[in-house]
Structure 1
Amino acid sequence: MPSTAADFRALLADRWVPLAVIATAFGALILRLYALGHRVFYYDEAWVGYWVLKFLEHGSWQYRPILHGPFFMRVNSVVFSVFGATEFTARLVVAVIGGLLPLSAWLFRDRLRNEEIVALAFILAINPLLLYYSRFMRNDLPLAAFMLVALGLLVRAYDTRAPRYLYGMTIALGIAFTTKESVLLWLLTWGGAALLVFDRRLLRVREEGSGPVSFVRSLTVHAVAGFRTWATHLVGAILLFFLIVIFFYAPRSPEARAPGLWKAVGGKFEMLPAVIERATLGSYQKAIEHWAGGSIQSHPYLPYLLDTLWTLAMGAMGVCLLAIVGFLYDRYAGSTRDLVEFSFYCGVAATVGYPLANSVPVPWSTVHAVVALSIPAAVGVGVVYRWGQSQLSSQETARSDGSTIASERTRAMVKAGGATVLLGTLVVSSGLTAIETSYLNPYDSPRNGGDGNEIVYYAQAPEELQTVITAIDHAAATGGNDTDVLYVGRSLVSNESSRTAPPATAAWFRRIPLPWYTETIGADVTSVAVADDIGSEPPPVVITTAANRSAVAQKLGQSYTAKRYRLDEIGDRTLVVFFRNTNDS
């Protein structure tokens, strides 16, 4: 413990980097938890969250690629069981992952300068895209986060030769595999970037006069020696990886004869081979058949690429520009660090690759590019910072007689001020965009003709839908055993209680995100095909289509007030909701 102010300052000077990283992560966590449950669920959040609730109710689950990996099914089922199912609890795990992600900067402490480590933590904390999608129940932010952590732990394992980092990397990679099938794209990106780094190493060896063959031979000898030293740990890491995958992907079923993980390990060992096969090879085959074998990617590439580039420009322009600066400086004026080069290639590959893999143009795929580019961007921040600092320190350039050259001092001050203004502008711009998209206006997509930011997805339900949710909540709280919500129309007829697992009916999809709310509220829901089938005592909330509005209004009479609601921001899915008038209840 420091006994004097001098000792304390010395301790602080020695540990300011980890303290800054921790403080940044703490701030990032607050930003993500603040008002986390205030935004209405958007399409995919409601879709996935609904089936988590059904899994809790019936205990039945098997992997279906359309819902992506089982990460939320396993994790949020525990969260819902402990804390209840709300918008806040549904997004809590992602918010915590995003808030703690700046801590991963410390994993690269032997590869980055002090100011670069802090800059990396800061970028991961405040980038508008990362902040916005840290407040969503989507798999992309967790996937990108776990892959960055896996990379950091792999680097630490190489730098320290400590096996614990290898096992940590395995856990991070294993969990990444449970989030989304595009983890395979990450691995392809890693492989391609590694080849480019290796190719650059060969060119450098050639320039230095050494033979590439001898370099490859030496590298092979070291790899074989390393494999022999780490063989036991590598086997252990592989086993750990498959245990994680099997636990998450193994089917669950309450039926006696259906394969299920808990039955297989609880005594019915004859089921174990089938459970393992379905969790591993079976899941892989399903993923490939659905996402690569079908027509999902049959779309023109250029519009998707332009959409990705525009989203990056609106939500990560500073990161992209600084990443280019950091990469070019490190490659041509610095020490050409493998990590910086590798990460830049990964970011570029994600930028040009995801438009090909996406089924629709979506803004959240840019999260993968931003996370990868954050490392060279942090180097770019360091370049600008050190340049400005060097200019500032040179302002006292003196003549031989000790006087200061005023013109040089002025130029130095201007350059230092320019560096400060540049970094400050990027920070303020990111902050304003983050505040606008995550807090002030998280609903408005530019695709509905508004002035919203490209970060916001057009399937986001508008804020006005909260009125319907409140009415359903009130109906469920005061309606006793009667029906609380009635859907009217052939296109809306669906018996939700009969569905224990996806896929659902087309009518169910036309209701999204309302099924999540009726399920969490515990509302009694039913449906009829035509207005004539509405009973003599209609429930407090009646929902129909625009085509059926007149017939329903005639059936309900003056006791109800109707209003049209959009279920997404572009308004291509709408419903008409009839509310029972308060004085008639």
Structure 2
Amino acid sequence: MSPPGSGDHRDRSVTDRRTVAGVVLLTILGLAIRLYDLGGRVFHWDEGRVGYWTLRYAETGHFEYEPIIHGPFLRIVNGALFGVLPPTDASARLVVALVGGILPLGALLFRAHLDRLEVVTLAAFLSLNPLLVYYSRFMRNDVLVGAFAFLALGFVVRALDTRQVRHLYAGSALLALSLSTKANTILYVLCFLGAGALLVDHRLARVVRRDGLRSTAVDWAQACWRGLVAVAGDRHPVGVLLSHVVGIGVVFLAIIVFFYAPRPDLYRAIGSPEAWSGVLHEATVGSVRELVDLWIKGDMQDNPYLTYLGHELETIAHAAAVTAVLAVVGFIVDGHVRGRDRVPAGRNRAFVAFAAYWGIASLIGYPAATDINAPWSAVHIVLPATIPAAVGLAYVLRECRAAIAIDDSTAGSPTIHVPEPGSAAIVLLIALTATGGLLAPTATYWNSTNSDHTAVVQWAQPHNDASETIADIEAIASHHGDGTDVLFVGADVDSRDDTFYVADESDADEMYAPGGWNDRLPLPWYLERSDARVDSISADADREEALADAPPVVIVHADARGEVEPHLDGYRVREHQLRLWNFRIAFFLEEDALRAARSGE
């Protein structure tokens, strides 16, 4: 005979395995969605500039932190990746897609605070939310900073749950990785601290009213000390804890220095110990100074708050309506509503409240903190909302199961029920696909560059019809002989002086490229990876003289096409939008050069 309770333990183990299986299934699904046709969308302007300077770093080995393009993570990691894989649109986005794809596994870190079905529903939101999917397929830092901070929080929570200090090392490393991607990590930490302070205040006020301030303070101090002793696991807990604090700090600092230290100074310091002080200073104090000069002393946050807030709400309404509605449901349910299936009334879990406060703080704070009105900032609001939304969806599923159950044993009627967490992933997929199709149309166009989809697609996204022309330009540059491959013709259009013109093309080798170089984005990424030789002429240049011996590719703003076309006999011309709207470009491709490139001559 089995000992008492052995069957319960076995059932619980099976259920836990099903929970893990459900999370893993959703993670695999999320990875597949993110990796499918990853290079199918033309690079965005932001992707183009970071990609260009990543190629420059990979070629020269020179790197210095520039806060205007955020943290160094992508340039350092992709610079190394391009030594293994060719620099394609897909490979450049690969790291972001992988991090966004494995994020649903992080739901398991909160299993002590969420029930089994809630863990699976959390994984479902992290895997399938249209906004998280779209920007996981985008070479930008927002999903990276959010995912790393989310996982760092998970490991800290896991350390508190298990009293195992190794989780704090993992949390420290992930927080440092988050900071290496973008300074938004500071906002995450502030939101964590603020949400935690609200929880402590609520619980402290409740206990103080019951037990008195002095008794409460003594009890909390003793409880904290017992927890620290349990973590230390030694007769000298203070010394052990201090050693762990130092170790955790060293892990954090080592990652920060690795990413923020200038190159090649970092590599020189490995063989020259006397150089370490300068490298450490530049990686820490110097980086902070650069960040403060740009984002604090500058005017990067000088924006109309209500306009930006309205845009955040519009993005959430289009790309995360299901998440937002269920987050409200989950927050209310967890505090006040008795559910079915043996779920107690008003669990009022600290972790669910913490996530709700974190999400509210992000919604209030990001419109003030962000420098550009862009949908990617809503990623940082959706991430915390997935936790109460998971609670809300689990509650709805349980209520649906109870509502459709047919249990009439006397009549011999069958019982219909929603399956347990392992199979619930299938139910969740059907439910989220259905609601996503109605309320979040972005779920169907993860590669979209459609100007009608501006709730998620940022305005500096070129249209995908330019991809064939870009491929032809790269082929021409690769096969063309000596001389300039691509000539940009400046023009005074679109409220800009000398669009495309750069007086000295070599100036674009470093960050903060001058003149009209930014108007060319994302083309510099494609031209650099094909080793194209690029030049430009100003709007004041004599067109006839400048184009007398034109290179095989000439690019001009569409409004100035008529000034160029008469001088380019034997060229095929195509026009494409290099933004969602109002920035149409004319590409002139020499017919003979194009035929030669296509035939491989």
| 1:513 shift after superposition | 0.7
Q: Could you tell me whether the CA contact under 8 Å between 2:547 and 2:567 is conserved in 1?
A: no
Select between 338-347 and 493-502 the one with higher mean Cα deviation: 493-502
Q: Could you tell me whether the CA contact under 8 Å between 2:70 and 2:181 is conserved in 1?
A: yes
Does 2:140 match 1:130? no
* Counterpart for residue 379 of structure 2: 367
**Residue identity in the other structure for 2:553:** V
Change (3 A) 1:9 1:31: farther
* Counterpart for residue 18 of structure 1: 20
d(CA) in 1 for partners of 2:225, 2:545: 75
d(CA) in 1 for partners of 2:547, 2:307: 50
**Residue identity in the other structure for 2:589:** F
1:342-379 superposed Cα distances (whole Å, 9 cap, x missing partner): 11111111112111111121101111111111111111
Select between 521-530 and 112-121 the one with higher mean Cα deviation: 521-530
1:252-274 superposed Cα distances (whole Å, 9 cap, x missing partner): 14xxxxxx11112222x332212
Q: Please, which of 561, 566, 578 is the counterpart of residue 577 of structure 2? A: 566
1:448-477 superposed Cα distances (whole Å, 9 cap, x missing partner): xxx325111111111122133022122123
* Counterpart for residue 509 of structure 2: 500
Select between 135-144 and 493-502 the one with higher mean Cα deviation: 493-502
How do residues 268-279 of structure 1 correspond to structure 2 at under 5 angstroms?
269-279=273-283
d(CA) in 2 for partners of 1:89, 1:233: 38
d(CA) in 2 for partners of 1:337, 1:9: 25
1:3-55 superposed Cα distances (whole Å, 9 cap, x missing partner): xxxxx999754511111111111111110000000100001000101000011
How do residues 526-565 of structure 1 correspond to structure 2 at under 5 angstroms?
526-529=535-538, 530=541, 531-534=543-546, 536-546=548-558, 548-556=560-568, 558-565=569-576
SS of equivalent to 2:536: strand
Change (3 A) 1:463 1:427: closer
* Counterpart for residue 98 of structure 1: 100
| 1:565 shift after superposition | 2.7
How do residues 387-398 of structure 1 correspond to structure 2 at under 5 angstroms?
387-393=399-405, 395-396=406-407
SS of equivalent to 2:83: helix
Unmatched segments (≥5 aa) in structure 1: 1-7, 254-259, 414-419, 446-450
Change (3 A) 1:20 1:182: same
d(CA) in 1 for partners of 2:361, 2:189: 11
Change (3 A) 1:215 1:532: farther
d(CA) in 1 for partners of 2:431, 2:401: 17
Q: Could you tell me whether the CA contact under 8 Å between 1:102 and 1:121 is conserved in 2?
A: yes
* Counterpart for residue 587 of structure 2: 577
* Counterpart for residue 288 of structure 1: 292
* Counterpart for residue 357 of structure 2: 345
* Counterpart for residue 264 of structure 1: 269
Does 2:519 match 1:510? yes
1:77-107 superposed Cα distances (whole Å, 9 cap, x missing partner): 1111110111000000000001111111111
| 1:156 shift after superposition | 0.9
* Counterpart for residue 85 of structure 2: 83
* Counterpart for residue 160 of structure 1: 162
**Residue identity in the other structure for 1:581:** E
| 1:481 shift after superposition | 2.8
1:225-262 superposed Cα distances (whole Å, 9 cap, x missing partner): 52835322121001110111011101114xxxxxx111
**Residue identity in the other structure for 1:296:** M
Does 2:452 match 1:443? no
| 1:217 shift after superposition | 3.1
Q: Could you tell me whether the CA contact under 8 Å between 2:315 and 2:456 is conserved in 1?
A: yes
d(CA) in 2 for partners of 1:195, 1:512: 44
d(CA) in 1 for partners of 2:428, 2:162: 37
* Counterpart for residue 256 of structure 1: none
Change (3 A) 1:533 1:263: farther
Unmatched segments (≥5 aa) in structure 2: 1-9, 229-236, 337-344, 419-425, 491-497, 596-601
d(CA) in 1 for partners of 2:443, 2:579: 16
TM-score by length of 2: 0.85
Name the count of aligned residue pairs. 550
Change (3 A) 1:510 1:389: same
* Counterpart for residue 466 of structure 2: 465
SS of equivalent to 2:518: helix
d(CA) in 2 for partners of 1:491, 1:316: 37
d(CA) in 2 for partners of 1:17, 1:426: 18
Q: Please, which of 372, 390, 397 is the counterpart of residue 378 of structure 1? A: 390
**Residue identity in the other structure for 1:504:** A
Q: Alpha carbon RMSD of aligned pairs, Å?
A: 2.8
1:516-574 superposed Cα distances (whole Å, 9 cap, x missing partner): 00011222222233223435432221112345433322222x31233433211022x33
d(CA) in 1 for partners of 2:429, 2:283: 48
Change (3 A) 1:440 1:350: closer
d(CA) in 2 for partners of 1:438, 1:266: 53
d(CA) in 1 for partners of 2:444, 2:531: 29
d(CA) in 2 for partners of 1:372, 1:162: 25
Q: Could you tell me whether the CA contact under 8 Å between 1:146 and 1:176 is conserved in 2?
A: yes
**Residue identity in the other structure for 1:149:** L
Tell me the percent identity: 38
Q: Could you tell me whether the CA contact under 8 Å between 2:442 and 2:456 is conserved in 1?
A: no
| 1:133 shift after superposition | 0.5
Q: Could you tell me whether the CA contact under 8 Å between 1:437 and 1:455 is conserved in 2?
A: no
Q: Please, which of 435, 438, 443 is the counterpart of residue 429 of structure 1? A: 435
d(CA) in 1 for partners of 2:325, 2:446: 26
Q: Could you tell me whether the CA contact under 8 Å between 2:322 and 2:439 is conserved in 1?
A: no
SS of equivalent to 1:198: helix
SS of equivalent to 1:579: strand
Change (3 A) 1:238 1:422: closer
Change (3 A) 1:13 1:114: closer
1:262-294 superposed Cα distances (whole Å, 9 cap, x missing partner): 112222x33221211111122112212211222
d(CA) in 1 for partners of 2:593, 2:165: 70
